[in-house]
Amino acid sequence: MSAALTTRIPIRDQRGNVIGEKEVATYAGLLSRAHEEGLKKIETAIIQFPMEENGFTAVCTAIVETEKGTFTGIEDANPDNVNRKIVPHLIRRAETRAKARAMRDAVNIGVVAMEELGGEESESPILACL
Protein backbone atom coordinates (compact mmCIF):
# COMPACT_ATOMS: atom_id res chain seq x y z
CA MET A 1 0.00 0.00 0.00
CA SER A 2 1.42 3.34 -1.05
CA ALA A 3 1.24 6.23 1.43
CA ALA A 4 -0.30 9.55 0.41
CA LEU A 5 2.42 11.79 -1.00
CA THR A 6 0.78 15.04 0.11
CA THR A 7 -1.85 16.24 2.53
CA ARG A 8 -3.46 19.56 3.34
CA ILE A 9 -2.97 21.22 6.71
CA PRO A 10 -4.74 24.26 8.16
CA ILE A 11 -3.07 27.66 8.24
CA ARG A 12 -3.92 29.50 11.44
CA ASP A 13 -3.67 33.16 12.40
CA GLN A 14 -2.16 34.36 15.68
CA ARG A 15 -5.43 33.67 17.52
CA GLY A 16 -5.62 30.09 16.23
CA ASN A 17 -8.38 30.69 13.71
CA VAL A 18 -8.10 28.71 10.48
CA ILE A 19 -7.55 31.16 7.62
CA GLY A 20 -6.58 28.76 4.85
CA GLU A 21 -4.88 25.52 3.92
CA LYS A 22 -1.43 24.52 2.75
CA GLU A 23 -0.41 21.47 0.75
CA VAL A 24 2.57 19.65 2.26
CA ALA A 25 4.41 16.44 1.49
CA THR A 26 4.31 13.62 4.03
CA TYR A 27 7.42 11.76 5.14
CA ALA A 28 5.66 8.42 4.62
CA GLY A 29 4.64 9.46 1.11
CA LEU A 30 8.14 10.65 0.24
CA LEU A 31 9.67 7.40 1.48
CA SER A 32 7.14 5.35 -0.46
CA ARG A 33 7.78 7.37 -3.65
CA ALA A 34 11.54 7.06 -3.17
CA HIS A 35 11.21 3.27 -2.99
CA GLU A 36 9.03 3.29 -6.11
CA GLU A 37 11.74 5.28 -7.89
CA GLY A 38 14.60 2.96 -6.97
CA LEU A 39 15.81 4.05 -3.53
CA LYS A 40 19.23 2.49 -2.98
CA LYS A 41 20.24 3.95 0.38
CA ILE A 42 19.81 6.70 2.93
CA GLU A 43 22.75 7.82 5.06
CA THR A 44 22.55 10.37 7.85
CA ALA A 45 25.03 12.13 10.09
CA ILE A 46 24.75 14.44 13.06
CA ILE A 47 26.56 17.69 12.29
CA GLN A 48 25.77 19.42 15.58
CA PHE A 49 24.49 18.05 18.87
CA PRO A 50 21.99 20.23 20.76
CA MET A 51 23.67 22.02 23.66
CA GLU A 52 22.99 25.13 25.68
CA GLU A 53 25.81 26.96 23.83
CA ASN A 54 24.03 26.56 20.45
CA GLY A 55 20.47 27.16 21.62
CA PHE A 56 19.85 23.40 21.81
CA THR A 57 19.98 23.18 18.02
CA ALA A 58 20.53 19.78 16.45
CA VAL A 59 21.78 19.75 12.84
CA CYS A 60 21.76 16.64 10.66
CA THR A 61 22.57 15.88 7.08
CA ALA A 62 21.14 13.15 4.87
CA ILE A 63 22.30 11.57 1.64
CA VAL A 64 19.67 9.80 -0.43
CA GLU A 65 20.75 7.64 -3.36
CA THR A 66 18.27 6.52 -6.01
CA GLU A 67 18.57 5.21 -9.53
CA LYS A 68 18.49 8.88 -10.66
CA GLY A 69 21.47 9.97 -8.56
CA THR A 70 22.55 11.21 -5.14
CA PHE A 71 20.71 13.96 -3.28
CA THR A 72 21.60 15.69 -0.01
CA GLY A 73 19.71 17.61 2.61
CA ILE A 74 20.69 19.45 5.77
CA GLU A 75 18.24 20.47 8.46
CA ASP A 76 18.06 21.65 12.03
CA ALA A 77 15.71 21.34 14.98
CA ASN A 78 15.60 23.37 18.18
CA PRO A 79 13.01 24.19 20.84
CA ASP A 80 11.94 27.28 18.87
CA ASN A 81 11.16 25.49 15.59
CA VAL A 82 9.49 22.25 16.69
CA ASN A 83 6.26 21.31 18.41
CA ARG A 84 6.69 21.21 22.18
CA LYS A 85 6.01 17.43 22.14
CA ILE A 86 9.06 16.97 19.89
CA VAL A 87 11.54 19.00 22.01
CA PRO A 88 12.90 15.87 23.75
CA HIS A 89 13.59 14.38 20.30
CA LEU A 90 15.54 17.16 18.55
CA ILE A 91 18.17 14.92 16.96
CA ARG A 92 15.56 12.59 15.48
CA ARG A 93 13.50 15.53 14.18
CA ALA A 94 16.56 17.12 12.55
CA GLU A 95 17.43 13.77 10.96
CA THR A 96 13.88 13.23 9.67
CA ARG A 97 13.79 16.76 8.30
CA ALA A 98 17.13 16.23 6.51
CA LYS A 99 15.94 12.94 5.01
CA ALA A 100 12.66 14.53 3.91
CA ARG A 101 14.52 17.41 2.22
CA ALA A 102 16.86 15.04 0.37
CA MET A 103 13.98 12.76 -0.67
CA ARG A 104 11.96 15.76 -1.92
CA ASP A 105 14.82 16.55 -4.30
CA ALA A 106 15.24 12.90 -5.25
CA VAL A 107 11.60 12.48 -6.26
CA ASN A 108 11.10 16.02 -7.60
CA ILE A 109 8.58 17.27 -5.04
CA GLY A 110 8.66 21.02 -4.61
CA VAL A 111 6.33 21.42 -1.63
CA VAL A 112 7.76 21.39 1.89
CA ALA A 113 7.36 18.25 3.97
CA MET A 114 5.12 18.46 7.02
CA GLU A 115 8.03 17.33 9.21
CA GLU A 116 10.10 20.32 8.06
CA LEU A 117 7.57 22.77 9.46
CA GLY A 118 8.10 24.28 12.86
CA GLY A 119 6.09 25.02 15.93
CA GLU A 120 2.51 23.97 16.47
CA GLU A 121 1.78 24.05 12.73
CA SER A 122 3.46 20.67 12.38
CA GLU A 123 1.20 19.10 15.03
CA SER A 124 -0.57 16.26 13.32
CA PRO A 125 -1.46 12.59 13.59
CA ILE A 126 1.87 11.80 11.86
CA LEU A 127 3.98 12.57 14.93
CA ALA A 128 5.17 8.94 14.93
CA CYS A 129 7.73 9.90 12.26
CA LEU A 130 10.07 11.94 14.40
pLDDT-based confidence at residue 123 (cuts at 50, 70, 90):
very low
Q: Residue 129 domain-assigned?
A: no
Q: Which domain holds residue 22?
A: 6-122
Give how many domains the chain has, as a whole number.
1
**How far is the C-alpha of 120 from the C-alpha of 99, rounded, in Å?**
21
Q: Residue 60 domain-assigned?
A: yes
Q: Each residue of 107-120: pLDDT tens digit?
A: 999 999 999 987 65
Quick check: helix, strand or coil at residue 28?
helix
Q: Residue 29 domain-assigned?
A: yes
Q: Residue 1 domain-assigned?
A: no
First to last CA, the chain: 21
Q: Residue 127 domain-assigned?
A: no
User: Cβ atoms within 10 A of the Cβ of 44, count?
Assistant: 18
The pTM for the full model equals 0.85
Quick check: helix, strand or coil at residue 6?
strand
Q: Residue 128 domain-assigned?
A: no
DSSP letter at 15?
T
**How far is the C-alpha of 4 from the C-alpha of 6, rounded, in Å?**
6
Determine the average pLDDT of the residues in 87-102: 97
